[in-house]
Structure 1
Amino acid sequence: MSRRIYWLVPDVASAQQVLKDLLLARITERQIHFVGRDGMDLSGLPTANILQTSDVVRAAQMGLVVGGATGAAAGVLAAVWFPIVGDTPQWGIAAVLAMIGGGFGAWAASMIGVSTPSGRLRRFEGAIEQGQILLMVDVPASRVKEIEKLLGASHPEAKFEGEEPNIPAFP
């Protein structure tokens, strides 16, 4: 299981040095994510993507649940009150409408979630707006202390901001 470690780095030069140190510690670029304020030049640094900086995943999950439940409820009503063939309820329509509702709900909610900042990063917004750079490193649980010690010793200018034990599977 991986854990996400958060650090605040004061500037781009420091972030580039942190990146080099992490790469030398055999942390891949895929596991390293930097977030800076809008317009900040982070070229040469692996920046966080939309899945890591927005609430799109959580919103899509909620949309799937709400849309699926709404579709299932509408399907049950349609199956009971408006059977397609004969007088017996057609339960297949409930399953079909649940899948359609879930898909539509996930799509619609993800369109909203993509423009909503991540709740996981909300506590860092002030520091990022002041020009600091947020570093997120996803490492196996067995290497967390090692990486924290490495960055703490080699980068006193960086500030450790904690770790998160439950990171999403793909963002």
Structure 2
Amino acid sequence: MTMSHRRRRLYFILPDVQITRDVVNELLLARVDERHLHCLAREDLDLGDLPQADVFQRSDIIHGAGLGLALGGATGAIAGVATILFQPSGWAQSGGLVLAIALVGALVGMWASGMIGTSVPNSRLKAFQKDLDAGRVLLMVDIPEDRVEEIRELVKKHHPEASDRGTDPHIPAFP
């Protein structure tokens, strides 16, 4: 088996917490690291010791931060150019000033948009909301792309009641 650095996120809807626990245990035995398993359910369902989805899986923080980085950087660059064009007397013209203001704008934009993104539900999870409201559990599994079919088959073979809900084409490297 070749080692792949690219990861895919698989989505499974499971009927209840006990079946989710069984699937998670089987995935752990199949050498899927617990930090790559994320469970999400209604707030009133006790997931116990199951690995729960964190802010990166539940919210749009990544999308928000990326958008803020781009918009903040562009706004900062425009502000830097405007500062050079309409500079107060005595300021030296400098491309470094534009770069510094663009960098500050990018960082502030990334921070502010990331904070807003933490309060916005992950848009990818909207497709699962009816299942979650009905008391089912969403299991997200982040695995190397060369193990996608192996893991799908493992879950399908042992748990026909599990609903395979697809794969994301890519996931962020760090969460």
Which TM-score band (shorter chain)? over 0.9
The answer to whether the 8 A contact 1:60-1:113 is kept is yes
Structure 1 counterpart of 2:136: 132
Structure 2 counterpart of 1:61: 66
1:165 CA displacement:
2.0
1:1-171 to structure 2, matched below 5 A, reads: 1-83=6-88, 85=90, 89-171=93-175
The amino acid of 2:117's aligned partner reads G
Structure 1, gaps ≥5 residues long: none
The amino acid of 1:107's aligned partner reads W
C-alpha distance in 1, partners of 2:27/2:137? 16
CA displacement 1:60-113 (0-9 Å, x = unmatched): 111111111111101111112115636x62332211111111111111111110
C-alpha distance in 2, partners of 1:17/1:100? 48
TM-score by length of 1: 0.94
The amino acid of 2:145's aligned partner reads A
Across the aligned residues of Structure 1 and Structure 2, the Cα RMSD in angstroms comes to 1.3
C-alpha distance in 1, partners of 2:82/2:95? 10
C-alpha distance in 2, partners of 1:16/1:37? 16
TM-score by length of 2: 0.92
The amino acid of 2:26's aligned partner reads D
Structure 2, gaps ≥5 residues long: 1-5
Please list every run of at least 4 consecutive aligned residues from structure 1 whose deviation after the TM superposition is greater than 4 angstroms: none
1:39 CA displacement:
2.6
Number of aligned residues: 170
What percent identity do the matched residue pairs reach? Answer: 44
